[in-house]
Amino acid sequence: MTLEEKSGNTSIIEVYDTTLRDGAQAENISFSIEDKLLITGKMDEIGIHYIEGGYPNPINPKDIEFFRQVKSLRLKQSKIAAFGSTRRASNTSDNDPGLRAMLDADTEIVTIFGKSWILHVKDVLRISCDENLRLIEDSVRFLVSGGRRVFFDAEHFFDGFKADAGYALKTLTAAMEGGAEIVVLCDTNGGTTPDEIANACSEVSEHVKSPFGIHSHNDSGLSAANTLTAVECGAVQVQGTINGIGERCGNDNLCTTIPNIAFKLGHLCLPDESMRELMVFSRFVSEIANEYHNHRQPYVGESAFAHKGGAHIDGVLKKHKSFEHINPKLIGNERRFLLSDQSGSATVFAKLEKTYKDLDKNGPRIKAVLKELKKKEHEGYQYEAAQGSFELLAAKIIDGWESPFTLGGFRVITDRREDGDMVSEATIKLTVNNKEEHTASEGDGPVDALNGALRKALNRFYPGISSVHLEDYKVRVLDTSKGTEAKVRVLIESSNGNETWGTVGVSKNLIEASYIALVDSLSYQLILERRKSGRKL
């Protein structure tokens, strides 16, 4: 169901992204100016309302340069916000370098944070409570007089509210009297629970006339729940980061919060077409941040709609709502069926029905494939990420597929040369069309050398193999308690430029396991070629 099809009253909840500032404070995350500009451009494309660009103070030249260069992007939907703190107690607003820097950033929006917790006022700033209120009001008023729309981030608001609710509310009032357009309630330490959020937001709604937003951290694993609670209590703006990156345990994950607001609360957040780009955008930010994409993320993770249990798959095939809370297409994800020793006939049928149109879900061919699948998984094979090997297994049973070449043997030698370089050499004997091929190849490692020798032997007969290249290579020890006698599982990801597939090999010998996966990789290319040409396997 699209947002337009939802009935009842809906509100527009604004999205304020702080990936480029708060997200960049995460461990092992660092964005170049070019990275920040790329992410900004993508955020504008999907319609993020506000993008916090950074902290433009004199010790942050990269952020200052970002604010200079971002003007050239000519954004169509998003508005850039500069970020900073209230003035120092020893300064007046007009001679405070931080406030001046925020004006110099020349953004329409300025977000300024101030203390809302007496502990911070007295023990960190070491000023009086009244002085802190003056800092907030003066700083906001100065920025507003400079022609800026000002958002006030009430830092540590919920901890401050628990310590002294009256004073925490006064900090919001001070910002509002200074001209703040919106006050944002920050769970800076990430330790507040949803019922505490609800209680505080109710008090804010009653005593503060300014609209309010929510800024949650995930130190207790509650940021998503806390954000939704605040929205249900009247928050009109949500702050967070893409993929939840941020200091310590991270910020609220906008890739979870945006669809939650849309599909669970029924409010307008982003246009439907932007929602369908959310998974792609999530992966884009992971790539720019040089981080693995969290495949178990709600909504946008690759496993979010991956089904493994046979009963689950059978239910989804009959009615997707039986085991899916939304249609994955709404956020650009897709349904996947995983193959494992837990699979049933429905799983196997779902994986093969597009290739074999005349299959009976409960017929003998499906049962034979399922039996072989369980046998191979008992031996250590795993087909969740090895669609190529699974289709080869099925083709042998359903089509009578036989490998067009047979192995005579192979040998791999690795030498360490006098100059310290390591080099491997593989020799291989194959029989193809009753012709024996004996080839050798060098490589950076034993698997690379074996791959080269295998291709050299087959290219003359099957030139399409030359288009296949390895994308990824992974090794997993299956039983570490057996030490060097343990079986290993090798997963290889291959591509011919148009399609990508995985293959798997298992053996007590790493080279043999690699060989099995390599042979499956090239064999699957031959199957693809035959299917494309309409020839029988």
- Tens of pLDDT, residues 517-527: 999 999 999 98
Single-letter residue type at 486:
A
Residue 112, CA distances (Å) to 96, 155, 197, 219 in order = 13, 10, 22, 23
Query: 508 in a domain, yes or no?
Result: yes
Which of the listed residues 252, 270, 288 is the one where a domain comes to its end? 270
Asked whether residue 319 falls in the same domain as residue 453, the answer is no
DSSP structural state of residue 518 = H
Statement to judge: residues 84 and 217 lie in one domain: yes
Segments forming the whole domain that contains residue 353: 307-398
Domain CATH number, residue 496 = 3.30.160.270
Q: How far apart are CA 363 and CA 341, in angstroms?
A: 19
Q: Examine residue 77 and state whether it is found in any structural domain, yes or no.
A: yes
Same domain for 432 and 381: no
Longest dimension (CA), the chain: 93
Looking at residue 3, its pLDDT comes to 37
**One-character DSSP codes across 203-238:** HHHHH--S-EEEEEB-TTS-HHHHHHHHHHTT--EE
Within this chain, do residues 520 and 372 fall inside the same structural domain, yes or no? no
Q: Report residues of the chain scoring pLDDT below 50.
A: 1-8
- Would 292 be classed as within a structural domain? no
Residues 373 and 411 in one domain: no
230 and 253 together in one domain: yes
Kindly report, residue by residue over 408-463, the tens digit of the pLDDT. Answer: 889 999 888 777 788 899 999 999 888 888 999 998 888 889 999 999 989 889 99
Query: Does residue 198 share a domain with residue 325?
Result: no
CATH number at residue 91: 3.20.20.70
pLDDT of residue 340: 61
Q: Residue 156 carries which side chain, given as an amino acid letter?
A: H
Instruction: Show which of 381, 398, 415 is a domain's final residue.
Output: 398
Q: How do residues 353-391 score in pLDDT, each as one tens digit?
A: 778 878 887 888 888 988 888 888 888 888 877 889 999
Using the Cα atoms of residue 443, residue 447, residue 391 and residue 523 in order, give the sign of their dihedral: positive
Q: Which of 348, 370, 398 is the last residue of a domain?
A: 398
Question: pTM, whole model, 2 decimals?
Answer: 0.72
In a domain, 502, yes or no: yes
